[in-house]
Structure 1
């Protein structure tokens, strides 16, 4: 692996701190800077992770800082925002307005800091916020990605392995589209022990016919909710998913991971961030990998993209209205 560089993490809550620990414990950062509006919390997280570093095999410098520390960073992780209130029936998409308001200010801080590395957003709604960041910063789309369904794809592999009775290492496959309610479990992409699931289901209808695949897809889609309701936040899984994305960037070997990136005709979609397999490297997304989906999967993927596109447009409309109001206010002052 190429030299691990400097990682800036915006947000020192459950997700940001676990992302920092995952990077530190796997030797995926030479230096980590945690930035949070709650400076005391960021400092406490640094002390806690710093204690762990003493027992880790990889040297890493970690500190609490601010945006002036970001200019020479190689990778920036965005982990700010609010959790949806399940009791009120909220989804990740329902947090868009609140998170977009925070991201507007974060983007301005990034612009002023001079940072121009790879930006990886975790903040929900993941796909829309990554697109919103790209709109605000006007950077090449390949430099701004979201972890997207990297986490959901891990869940897909896990529930499939448990249902079939194999180890998770023997399962490959992808969840696509939104990191949220409209995602699809693309069963046509799933293979077990190197063989396509579709073939296995045809050959052994007794074994594979007893599995409720729709129920498994529901487990993948609702996995985050189960964790959120049980402990108040997700943290370990997303920290590991973020670490894999950063590893792919450092290694620059053309690793393929499901992340959210801007589509420009791939899968028949234009002008929308969606989670798809992509080739990653030092410059971010090198190319999108187009899988052969079933007609039903294509239709569901298109619907997921429609939802994300519409919500992105809502975020942009809100931003332009608030910018005009601020400009008008400044002019009349």
Structure 2
């Protein structure tokens, strides 16, 4: 069966994700959808121009929801990042809700039954809202969550400790927003607990990890490469049934909301949630983050 990925919302992130899918040969068919007149077709042609230089081939389809019926994965990146105020991702609640309300009925009508990966912000709120809009198992609807925050933490730690980023392990958890936090009890550098290292400065590293995205956003007014890479990694994990763990946004039964925490991903979406062995302080931060997400979800639902 042909491998099919859909990308809904072809802005900076959506098109970067689409380019990665094509150049990495992740799909046999890529369906790109955008409601701006002529936009998806223009990007389809631009992406098609790259095919002559690649060792793989991808059929690229524009604005055809019916082709998503048998898609393995749909990546949703709709919304309007330009409405963000003071670095608050929750400024996008109204525009993201409108984008989901537009896409959800069309996606449902297509007969889509694969895995939905949300990129749009506020990510955890959007994932929970998607779970309410589609007649799919919650395990089939996930978001990139704190995977990007984790990447930024690893980058900051690697730079501070003068090691390769591949040798830094651990998780950022909670909301993909201001209440996210680094679970330092999970972080290892060259397999040593970071808290045991003599040059570990929690305050400085917390700030470096938290502000990494805003340094980019303040200059570019969007971020795209890191998040697109994560979306493609998650999509690949679904399509290959990789049983790979991501700190992504998925439903937490204990808190009744989707939130960034370690999640094993495979063909059907969520396979399991590895146990989190957090400190009491980290548990409190996680609970606070869940409460923040619930409060912002209530704001979205109040929009009617």
State the TM-score bracket (shorter-chain normalisation). Answer: over 0.9
5+ residue gaps in structure 1? 320-333
* Count of aligned pairs: 304
The aligned counterpart of 2:67 is: 69
The aligned counterpart of 1:184 is: 181
Cα deviation for residue 84 of structure 1 reads 5.5
Cα deviation for residue 184 of structure 1 reads 0.5
| 2:275 is the alignment partner of 1:290 | yes
Say which of 265, 274, 292 aligns to 1:280: 265
How many Å separate the matches in 1 of 2:111 and 2:79?
A: 23
Say which of 139, 162, 165 aligns to 2:162: 165
Q: Is the 8 A contact 1:180 1:221 kept in 2?
A: no
Q: TM-score, normalised by structure 1?
A: 0.87
The aligned counterpart of 1:83 is: 81
Say which of 47, 50, 72 aligns to 1:49: 47
SS in 1 for 2:92: helix
The aligned counterpart of 2:8 is: 10
Answer with 1 or 2: which has the greater Rg. Answer: 1
How many Å separate the matches in 2 of 1:25 and 1:264?
A: 38
The aligned counterpart of 1:38 is: 36
Alignment of 1:24-35 (within 5 A): 24-35=22-33
Q: Which stretch of the first structure deviates more once superposed, 76-85 or 297-306? A: 76-85
SS in 1 for 2:179: coil
Cα deviation for residue 85 of structure 1 reads 4.7
How many Å separate the matches in 2 of 1:152 and 1:5?
A: 29
| 2:302 is the alignment partner of 1:304 | no
Q: Is the 8 A contact 1:84 1:94 kept in 2?
A: no
Cα deviation for residue 271 of structure 1 reads 0.8
How many Å separate the matches in 1 of 2:2 and 2:118?
A: 19
Cα deviation for residue 39 of structure 1 reads 3.8
Q: In structure 2, do the counterparts of structure 1 residues 84 and 12 end up closer, same or farther at CA, with 3 Å as the change threshold?
A: closer
The aligned counterpart of 1:141 is: 138
The aligned counterpart of 1:249 is: 238
Cα deviation per residue 1:221-242 (whole Å; 9 max; x = unaligned)?
Answer: 2222221221121111111010
How many Å separate the matches in 2 of 1:138 and 1:30?
A: 26
How many Å separate the matches in 1 of 2:231 and 2:265?
A: 13
Q: Is the 8 A contact 2:183 2:278 kept in 1?
A: yes
How many Å separate the matches in 2 of 1:91 and 1:256?
A: 27
Cα deviation for residue 37 of structure 1 reads 0.5
Q: Is the 8 A contact 1:7 1:33 kept in 2?
A: yes
SS in 1 for 2:49: helix
Q: TM-score, normalised by structure 2?
A: 0.95
Q: Which stretch of the first structure deviates more once superposed, 162-171 or 108-117? A: 108-117
Say which of 91, 106, 121 aligns to 1:94: 91
Say which of 199, 214, 223 aligns to 2:203: 214
Cα deviation per residue 1:78-122 (whole Å; 9 max; x = unaligned)?
Answer: 111121556x42510121122112211211111112111100010
Say which of 293, 313, 319 aligns to 2:298: 313
Q: Is the 8 A contact 2:72 2:239 kept in 1?
A: no
